[in-house]
Structure 1
Amino acid sequence: MALGTLLPYWPAILFAYLEPLSLLLGTQTAWTDPTRFATTQVPDDGTILTPSIACLSYTIGNIFLLLLLVAVLCLFISREARVARFYLLFVALGDLGHIYSSYRAMGPRKFWDFGNYNDIMWGNIGASAFLCVNRVATLMGVFGAVGSVKGGKKVKRV
């Protein structure tokens, strides 16, 4: 148990601190510069910010904020290892969905052309893949068990 969570040290840093920070930054970008947020999802596609695209950018920013709050709930507030493990599993599935959604939007040619990725594409695909691998590794116990003994009180491991 590390850093106020039921996670081992590395997953606690990654999922309880770094990822929520990145979600907050994503929210800030989507809300303060929806044009850049929308038009850099797939580079050079000539997208013009319409009210519909602006609405989608703001909505995605709101979803990022919601994910941050769910992470706080599951990793800090809940003291059950089972909740933390299911959170990691469900968000890993979401990572795969995020990568597939990017693939569908970009098409295979742009998706597999890693050399032409911009920062948003690396976030959508590279960061999602990195987080997914680390979530699965955490669930497999690579970094240690989720749940621990704290203050003489055993926390249930699942």
Structure 2
Amino acid sequence: MEPTRVPPFYRLVFLYLEPISIFTGAVQAYFFQSAYLTLTHASSAPSVVPVSTSIVLTQLANLYLGLAITEALILRVTTEYSVWKALIIVLLIADVGHLYSVLPLGFSRAFLQCWNWNAIDWGNVGWVYFLAQTRISMLLGIGFGGRRAPGLKNA
């Protein structure tokens, strides 16, 4: 059987938009640590970033960079839907963890009051909502035309 062709919308999101957004997060977490903390939760952000926090933010930036490169490269080197599906499932699980991480802000503040969101909130919640929905849609085969559901080559 011929490998499944991933529709252009998913290719755009997962090959370009998401890796760029993750890379942007890495840059912010590494180069703009004080602003990153302030945007995350202003009232608990320190006036001077402690060394321990700087180390953790540098590690976060490194993980973001690794994730951006992994997604961008792995999905570019294969047309096998089973590989795409495996990575998309992992990223969907990570989306759930990412959304869970903002719960200390309060459910309503974190997830419902989008009119109060700043740039990091839009990235941490709004963008992650979009990515999770896009992943679910892809896993359900939405947009693959009349072809049978994807993932059947190695399923």
User: Gaps spanning 5+ residues in structure 2: where?
Assistant: none
Q: Among the aligned pairs, what percent are the same residue?
A: 27
Query: Does 2:8 correspond to 1:9?
Result: yes
1:22 aligned partner, one-letter code: S
1:56 alignment counterpart: 56
Which whole-Å CA distance do the structure 2 matches of 1:47 and 1:110 have between them?
21
Deviations 1:63-92 (A, max 9, x none): 111111221343112342211101111101
1:122 alignment counterpart: 122
Q: Is the 8 A contact 1:11 1:138 kept in 2?
A: yes
Q: Is the 8 A contact 2:6 2:79 kept in 1?
A: no
Tell which deviates more after alignment, 119-128 or 108-117: 108-117
Query: How does the TM-score come out when normalised to structure 2?
Result: 0.83
User: Gaps spanning 5+ residues in structure 1: where?
Assistant: 148-154
The count of corresponding residues between Structure 1 and Structure 2 is: 146
Tell which deviates more after alignment, 39-48 or 112-121: 39-48
Give the alignment's Cα RMSD to 1 decimal: 2.2
SS of 1:40's equivalent? Answer: helix
Question: What does residue range 68-147 of structure 1 map to in structure 2 within 5 Å?
Answer: 68-103=68-103, 105-111=104-110, 112-144=112-144, 146=150
1:12 aligned partner, one-letter code: R
Query: How does the TM-score come out when normalised to structure 1?
Result: 0.82
Q: CA deviation at 1:128?
A: 0.5
2:107 aligned partner, one-letter code: P
